[in-house]
Amino acid sequence: MTLLFIYGTLMPGLRLQAEMQGARFLGAAQVPGRLVDLGRYPGFVQGEGLVTGEVYAVDDAHLARLDGVEGVAPGDRAASHYWREVVTVTGGPMQGQPVQTYVYNRPVDGCTAIAHGDYRRYIREVGRES
């Protein structure tokens, strides 16, 4: 099983929630980084700040399906839209736990920052459905 931190459209109530069916919810979490608005979805990038999301346990087959959804080209980071990287949970009951997450793998120049790092809150604030 892989511990996976999700922060955007894969979360419950958002448009790709069905992709997480079968994953085991482990809890809410925050990890270091920042979010940017990419239009219909957010991008996680390394940087100052905290990103709010949830941690799930997923098996290898599920992780491979999610890689396809997120545009990961196995073994080819340059061709990947997102890339899975390890980050560490910074607070709550899972504090200190290493987890994987999808990091946006394209330039973010000109993208709007989601300063508070909470995608659900952001789409409510801007009045966008996801």
- The residues that bridge with 7 in the sheet, in sequence order, are none
CB 31 within 8 Å of CB 87: yes
Count other Cβ atoms within 10 Å, centred on residue 93: 11
Q: Which of 48, 54, 70, 125 is catalytic?
A: 70
The sign of the torsion formed by the CA atoms of 41, 45, 49, 51 equals: positive
- 19 carries an active-site annotation: no
Residues labelled catalytic: 70
